[in-house]
């Protein structure tokens, strides 16, 4: 049975269950090896069919309600979000997961809505689940540029990725997922307004759902915000603060626009960060940083922000990133 939810920002079908500073960056990187998640995943699984078979075999007896038992215990400590965890994160082993429908489709993967709850209690949270497509089906059109320097520590996997074999394409999808999970973990710890990354399982990231918890309606993107609902000055201040935190950590978003910024109850949230760029190590780092500012700045300029403020932000971020 399906209930149709809709809002100004997103709509989706809901399925009812049948039964009812730099040192800081280095420290974070040493604590979380972004590629570890896929190394363990790749060693055990090589096809999507095997993944589904394994997940089914680990829980032959389903829960009395919901779609399946919580997958929390399937992730290792390095595959879970940074400490301290928010109180809303449901970690109880008796919790169940229920899929509620698809929130949006994207160029590299699709995002689903999932409820994780402990039966018989009020412990409940909504999660956004991003599932990366493998290289055969995904539409990310700049793999070669963004994957530069992301060779895998296992030569067998690196060769498969270079040759774009079926397994190599799946490995690339795993790298994108691991890169985004690692970036979200570092950025959240640095105070950037990003969704809290709950856990990663192979090519699937479970993260904080940004939207209305009672209806399951996702927050609108900045590009979808109606003029009468936009506090231009406040949103600009939030943007500059978050991009400054990016730059001070040595990063640029890499693909920033008004389409990967959400606005929930006046709060600006940055999403979609698998292509995050190290502006110091990447010879084009400053170009990526300035492009981010131009792309999202165009939305603000079209709504009345003075153009010189966009130019000033680009210079300020270059200073924050120690590029000038």
Catalytic residues: 255, 272
* Measured distance CA(189)–CA(202) in Å, rounded: 22
Helix axes 166-189, 36-44, angle to 10 degrees: 150
| Separation in Å, CA 170 to CA 46, 128, 132, 146, 232 | 8, 21, 9, 16, 41
The backbone torsions φ and ψ at residue 175, rounded to the nearest 5 degrees and listed phi first, read -65, -40
Neighbours of 276 (CB within 10 A): 23
* Measured distance CA(138)–CA(108) in Å, rounded: 5
* Measured distance CA(224)–CA(298) in Å, rounded: 14
SS3 118: coil
Angle CA 107–273–269, to nearest 5: 105
* DSSP run (H or E) holding 155: helix 155-163
CA 4 to chain centre: 25
230 within 8 A of 305, measured Cβ to Cβ:
no
β-strands 204-208, 124-132: how paired? antiparallel
| CB neighbour burial string for 211-238, b if at least 16 within 10 angstroms, e if fewer | bbeeebbbbbbbebbeeeebeeeebbeb
* Measured distance CA(198)–CA(86) in Å, rounded: 10
SS (H, E, C) 6-55: ECCCCEEEEECCCCCCHHHHHHHHHHCCCCHHHHHHHHHCCCHHHHHHHH
* Measured distance CA(211)–CA(218) in Å, rounded: 4
């Amino acid at each position: 049975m399906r209930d149709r939810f809709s809002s100004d920002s997103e709509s989706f079908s809901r399925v009812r269950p049948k039964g009812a500073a730099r040192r800081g960056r280095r420290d974070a990187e040493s604590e979380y090896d972004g590629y570890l998640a896929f190394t363990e995943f790749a060693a055990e699984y090589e096809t999507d069919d095997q993944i589904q078979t394994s997940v089914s075999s680990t829980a032959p007896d389903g829960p009395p309600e919901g779609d399946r038992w919580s997958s929390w215990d399937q992730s290792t400590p390095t595959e879970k979000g940074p400490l301290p965890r928010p109180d809303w994160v449901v970690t109880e082993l008796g919790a169940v997961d229920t899929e509620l429908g698809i929130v949006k489709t994207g160029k590299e993967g699709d995002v689903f809505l999932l409820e994780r709850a402990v039966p018989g209690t009020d412990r409940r949270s909504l999660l956004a689940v991003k599932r990366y497509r493998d290289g055969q089906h995904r539409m990310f059109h700049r793999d070669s540029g963004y994957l530069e320097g992301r060779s895998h520590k296992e030569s067998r996997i690196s060769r498969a990725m270079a040759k774009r074999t079926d397994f190599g394409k799946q490995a690339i999808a795993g790298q994108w997922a691991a890169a985004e999970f690692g970036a979200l973990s570092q950025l959240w710890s640095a105070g950037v307004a990003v969704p809290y990354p709950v856990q990663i399982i192979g090519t699937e990231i479970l993260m904080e759902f940004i939207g209305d918890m009672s209806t399951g309606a996702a927050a609108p993107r900045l590009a979808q915000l109606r003029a009468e609902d936009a506090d231009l000055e406040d949103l600009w201040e939030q943007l500059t603060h978050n991009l400054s935190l990016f730059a001070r950590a040595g990063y640029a978003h890499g693909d920033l626009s008004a389409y990967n910024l959400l606005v929930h109850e006046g709060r600006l949230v940055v999403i979609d960060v698998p292509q995050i760029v190290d502006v110091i190590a990447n010879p084009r780092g400053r170009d990526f940083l300035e492009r981010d500012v131009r792309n999202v700045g165009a939305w603000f300029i079209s709504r009345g922000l003075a153009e010189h403020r966009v130019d000033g932000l680009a210079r300020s971020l270059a200073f924050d990133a120690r590029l000038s």
